[in-house]
Structure 1
Amino acid sequence: MHEMSVALSVVDQVERAAQARGVPGVRQVRLEIGELAGVVPDALGFCFGLACAGTVLEGAELTTRSVPGRASCAPCGRTWDTGMPPDMVCAGCGAGATELLAGRELRITEVHWADRPGPTAHPRAPHPEEL
């Protein structure tokens, strides 16, 4: 499943950033997903939950925002939403010399850090002297 590799990559990037900042947990991760990126948001959400298990992201919420495909015609300069499946032929002049401006995004836009590990994260085991 493609979405699992995407989820693992997101978790890895956010976990490295959390460690670099010394934060113990993550509350929320926000992503932009282009409609032409080939990622199914619901499947990604499911995989994200699995990928977070045992990490500082355990219990974090994933929020996604869809970015519509947008193209531009090189000869006449017209821009349009490509839709899905993408329409890459200019309706204005019929040219096929187009540039995809948006719709392939897959980016982390925000991370909300937590001041403690997530609700289901495994706490540190007490040292015998602390008992």
Structure 2
Amino acid sequence: MHELSIAQNLLALIEDEMAKHDKATLVTVKVRHGRLSAVVPEALTMAFEVLTAETRLAGSTLVMEETPVVLRCRACGREFSPESPSAAFAPCPACGEELGHEVLSGRELYIEYLELE
């Protein structure tokens, strides 16, 4: 479960930001993850809850938001979101090209915002 190490890194970043801004309480953290980032939101949420239990971050809320996959066709340049969750095989709706598309979004994994007190 690599979500545990992701949660550990996430919490380290949060602690750094809290120290920079001299804040003691984390209210909410919003994480944006791409559909192709291989993150299981439920597992990350569980890891976050386990790692924050009985710490000063206990009771804070982790909000997860998924970014859809957007591809650019290598043949015609059209941008599109594939119907299947995989970008490995995604026919272009304009020209039918099936392989080699550029991934424009869908691999993200970042903190969108922190709500601190």
TM-score computed with the length of structure 1 as normaliser: 0.79
| C-alpha contact 1:30 1:108 (8 A) present in aligned 2 | yes
In the alignment, structure 2 segments of 5+ residues that lack a partner are: none
- Work out whether 1:108 is the aligned partner of 2:107: no
Runs of 4+ in structure 1 deviating by more than 3 angstroms, as ranges, are 53-56
Q: Structure 2: how far apart are the matches of 1:77 and 1:14?
A: 39
- The one-letter code matched in structure 2 to 1:48 is F
Deviation at 1:55?
Answer: 4.2
1:97 aligns with 2:76: no
RMSD after superposition: 1.6
- The alignment partner of 2:23 has SS state of coil
For residues 2 and 105 of structure 1, the distance between their equivalents in structure 2, rounded to whole angstroms, comes to 16
Q: Quick one: which amino acid aligns to residue 10 of structure 2?
A: V
Using the alignment, how far apart are the partners of 1:57 and 1:74 within structure 2? Answer: 45
- Residues 1-131 of structure 1 mapped to structure 2, 5 A cutoff: 1-82=1-82, 83-86=84-87, 87-93=89-95, 94=97, 96-114=99-117
Q: How far is the alpha carbon of 1:54 from its aligned partner?
A: 4.8
Runs of 5+ unmatched residues, structure 1: 115-131
Alpha-carbon distance, 1:95 to partner: 5.3
The CA deviation at 1:21 is: 1.1
Relative to structure 2, which stretch is displaced further, 87-96 or 73-82?
Answer: 87-96
Instruction: Between 71-80 and 89-98, report the one with greater CA deviation.
Output: 89-98
- Distance in 2, Cα, partners of 1:8 & 1:96: 36
Larger Rg: 1
Give the match's secondary structure for 1:100.
strand
The range that moved more, 8-17 or 69-78, is 69-78
Matched residues in 2 for 1:101 and 1:79: separation? Answer: 8
